[in-house]
Amino acid sequence: MASHRRPKQPSRSRVTALTAFAAAAVALSSQSAMAAPEKPNKDEVKAKVDALYGEAEQATEKFDGAKDRQDKLEKEIAQLQDQVARGQLELNDMRNTLGSMASAQYRTGGIDQSLTLLLSDDPQSYLDKASTFQQLSAKQIETIGRIQAKQRFLAQQRQEAAGKLADLDATRKELGEQKKAAQDKLAQAQAQLNSLTADERAQLSSQDASSSRASRSASGGGGAAKGSGRAGAALAAAASVEGATYHMGDTGPNSFDCSGLTQWAYAQAGVSISRTTYTQANEGTRIGRSELQPGDLVFFYGDLHHVGLYAGNGQVLHASHPAPNGGVKYEPMDDMPFQFGVRI
């Protein structure tokens, strides 16, 4: 008769070993399917860094615009507040004059009841009705009219100041957002550079320095002698700070961003231009590449977020970026998508 014994169960240690083997097989399969991408080479990193610097500069120009608006609003608000304070003093003098009239009237035979109300704690409701007071003197009526006009003008100024304060709050918020956006992009760019080896970073730095020297030589050593008038003076000023560092929002004399350099350079030539690339693009006459002369403003990228000074022979002198060998330097215009020039 056949045996019906139960088959022998695998031991606990055998089950554990089989489970571990299966898990390892799954893990190896997953790792094979999701293999880590190869580390980008230095040229790929440079391309990513350049793109991030471009995005940082877009935010920087918006930051510059917000900062410029903030500065103007603060000045306008201060002027309005000063005007309101002086207007309030004038209003108080008018009221004091009206009070003196009332005192004189009282000494000479009593004060009109309507004028008494005008000088009470709440005279405004009576000021609006002053033209109907038949017993007031012509001079009193004239003073009351001036008080009413001054009150209306002060109310308008206070309302204007309140509106500008609201604009200032919104501008400050935008300023913070754009500053953070630029700083984030710069931090990402630095992280990309940090992913390279020391030798790779040195190679990139050497390439940048060599390119800048070649560009400077191609421009004729600064192009200042070739420039004329205020454009030539602006180019000479920019050439005098070659090597200055790039820093978001700065307008010199030791560090600059791109539009900060062009604004500063033209200021040294006695010409005042606006703060950002977007507004500098409309400062003068737009010209094509074949018309460029040393010192003309040259704009790059479709959204015009970068500007420099034409240095001659197809070269630009500009505040480029904060990386090693960045800052104020010469570079071939062909390294960036040229849009147009502007003659100031």
pLDDT digits (tens, 9 = 90+) for 51-109: 999 999 999 999 999 999 999 999 999 999 999 999 889 888 888 877 766 665 555 55
Residue 247 falls in the annotated catalytic set: no
Radius of gyration of the chain (CA): 36
Tell me which of 4, 258, 305, 321 is the catalytic residue.
258
Per-residue model confidence as pLDDT tens digits over 224-274: 446 679 999 999 999 999 999 999 999 999 999 999 999 999 999 999 999
Active site residue 258: yes
Report helix, strand or coil for 272.
coil
265 lies in the same domain as 133: no
User: Does 30 reside within a domain?
Assistant: no
pLDDT tens-digit map of 177-194: 999 999 999 999 999 998
Q: What pLDDT score does 125 carry? A: 59
CATH code of 284's domain: 3.90.1720.10
> What angle is formed at CA 275 by the lines to CA 331 and CA 52, rounded to 5 degrees?
50
Q: What is the mean pLDDT of residues 137-148?
A: 80
pLDDT at 33: 45
290 domain-assigned: yes
Of 105-109, 189-193, 278-282, 332-336, the range with the lowest mean pLDDT is: 105-109
The residue annotated as part of the active site, out of 4, 247, 305, 306, is 306
Residue 344 has pLDDT above 50, yes or no: yes
**pTM (two decimals):** 0.71
Give residue 123's pLDDT: 58
Whether 181 and 253 map to the same domain: the answer is no
- Co-location of 184 and 51 in the same domain: yes
Which of 192, 211, 240 corresponds to the end of one domain? 192
Q: How far is CA 139 from the centre of its chain?
A: 54
Residues 157 and 259 in one domain: no
Q: Which of 4, 305, 318, 321 is catalytic?
A: 318
Range of the domain at 188: 42-192
Q: What are the residues whose beta carbons fall under 8 Å from the beta carbon of 192, sequence distance 6 or more?
A: 45, 48, 49, 52
Instruction: Provide the number of structural domains found in the chain.
Output: 2
More confident residue, 258 or 206: 258
- Looking at the chain, the whole-number percentage of residues with pLDDT higher than 90 is 53
* pLDDT score at 171: 93
Residue 135, pLDDT score: 53
